[in-house]
Structure 1
Amino acid sequence: MNRHFTFFLCGLMVLVSGCATSPPQSPENICDIFQEHRSWYTAAKETRDKWGVPVHVPLAMMYQESSFKHNAAPPMQYFLGFIPIGRASDAYGYAQAKTMTWDDYIRETGNTWASRSDFDDAIDFMGWFIHKTNKVNGISKWDARAQYLNYHEGWGGYRRGTYKSKAWLGKVATKVDDRAKRYATQYRGCQKELDASWLQRLFF
């Protein structure tokens, strides 16, 4: 095979897989996450400014949903232990967004080319959802626990209290809230450094 053609194919593969960023090495620390993935911080700030959502809340929810894996999906279900019959839901991507809700997001925002496997789009989706939860059910955008319950059960399910019969879900929501609070504390300690320009980071 021609060497130049080989280089072309390699370059094309890099471009195609560009949005498939690997999960951060230190997912428990928001400062480390954003230091490793600088573009994620830019996207998180844009979501904050656009939807009025604090940086740490959607990030804590996203970690719980996908562990920051771009192609995360519910496990495959099997009949008789070996015949695949599909997944429990069509949730997919960083935000584990379901197709119906994702379609609502695209229709309302006009973000036609959005992809659930793209971090920027996924966190914008979560910002939109948190913002709507605030409008629909009056939940504070800083209340990670109640926001997660809405995210998991849907706005109608939350109003009906479906989560109250799911003790396991309450524990998960508390876990998300605890992580969000840790993220918030960590972020206060590194925000100034994260906000510094690349030139400032280079010389100071």
Structure 2
Amino acid sequence: MKSLAVAGLALVLGACASTGVPRQPLNLCAVFAEKSAWREPASDAQAQWGIPASVLMATIYHESSYRHDARPPKRYFLGFIPMGRASSAYGYSQALDGTWDEYVSRQNRWFASRDNFADAIDFVGWYHYGSRKALGLSATDMRNLYLAYHEGRGGFTRQYYLRKPWLMAYADRVQATELNYRQQLRTCSAWRP
């Protein structure tokens, strides 16, 4: 019985370790060295959707800080009455319920989960690929891909982001992260797609 309890504890701790946040999130080579199970899904999504892993990973980092269970903060009325969350965004990709449901349906991924890294990075690739096709964006145009991801393709087309200086500044930060990630992967022994 004691060995069963120890095995159960090891399983729980192992599950927690696999979903923990990388220690050096701004160093993509270190992320892949620490989270070796993420390499294959990142490589697969890059191959499937034609979107560089640096773009996919920068999107996930800036959406969730690599937290599998990330959600928008709760809102409160009068500072103490809970009103729910600002949106249905959840998981690594911060995909909204409706957009995630569209992905699941169109890709026949009925058991996909937003808190599963492999599913989330495939979703990000799928969404960016759709933005490339619908909006004519380059696969490496991180700034505009991120703006389309954040605002939705319709919001991007209507240029809603122009009314949000904070979002445009944030998109510049996402672009800078992607550029650093891309440079890091060029010499990274932990990344071999």
Using structure 1 for the length normalisation, give the TM-score.
Answer: 0.89
- Asked if the contact 1:48/1:127 (under 8 Å) is kept, the reply is yes
- Asked if the contact 1:114/1:121 (under 8 Å) is kept, the reply is yes
Residues 138-179 of structure 1 show CA distances to partners (whole Å, capped at 9, x for unaligned) of 111110000000001101111111111111110011110111
* Equivalent residue number for residue 163 of structure 2: 165
Residues 46-101 of structure 1 show CA distances to partners (whole Å, capped at 9, x for unaligned) of 00111111010011111111100000000011112112110000100001010000
Residue 6 of structure 1, CA deviation: 2.0
- Asked if the contact 1:20/1:118 (under 8 Å) is kept, the reply is no
Q: For 2:191, which of 171, 190, 194 is the aligned residue?
A: 194
Residue 117 of structure 1, CA deviation: 0.5
* Equivalent residue number for residue 199 of structure 1: none
* Equivalent residue number for residue 137 of structure 2: 139
Unaligned runs of 5+ in 1: 197-204
* Equivalent residue number for residue 202 of structure 1: none
Q: For 2:97, which of 96, 99, 108 is the aligned residue?
A: 99
Task: State whether structure 2 residue 5 is matched by structure 1 residue 6.
Answer: yes
Q: For 1:176, which of 174, 177, 181 is the aligned residue?
A: 174
**Structure 1 residue runs of 4+, over 4 Å off?**
none
- Asked if the contact 1:92/1:116 (under 8 Å) is kept, the reply is yes
Residue 180 of structure 1, CA deviation: 0.4
* Equivalent residue number for residue 156 of structure 1: 154
Percent identity between matched residues is 41
Residue 20 of structure 1, CA deviation: 5.3
CA distance, structure 1, for counterparts of residue 116 and residue 17 of structure 2: 6
Residue 7 of structure 1, CA deviation: 3.5
Task: State whether structure 2 residue 22 is matched by structure 1 residue 24.
Answer: yes
Residue 19 of structure 1, CA deviation: 8.6
Task: State whether structure 2 residue 25 is matched by structure 1 residue 47.
Answer: no
**Relative to 1, partners in 2 of residues 1:193 and 1:73: Cα closer, same or farther, differing over 3 Å?**
closer
- Asked if the contact 2:32/2:190 (under 8 Å) is kept, the reply is no
Residue 9 of structure 1, CA deviation: 3.5
- Number of positions where the alignment pairs a residue of Structure 1 with one of Structure 2: 193
- Asked if the contact 1:78/1:86 (under 8 Å) is kept, the reply is yes
**Relative to 1, partners in 2 of residues 1:29 and 1:12: Cα closer, same or farther, differing over 3 Å?**
closer
Using structure 2 for the length normalisation, give the TM-score.
Answer: 0.94
CA distance, structure 2, for counterparts of residue 189 and residue 182 of structure 1: 12
- Asked if the contact 2:32/2:39 (under 8 Å) is kept, the reply is yes
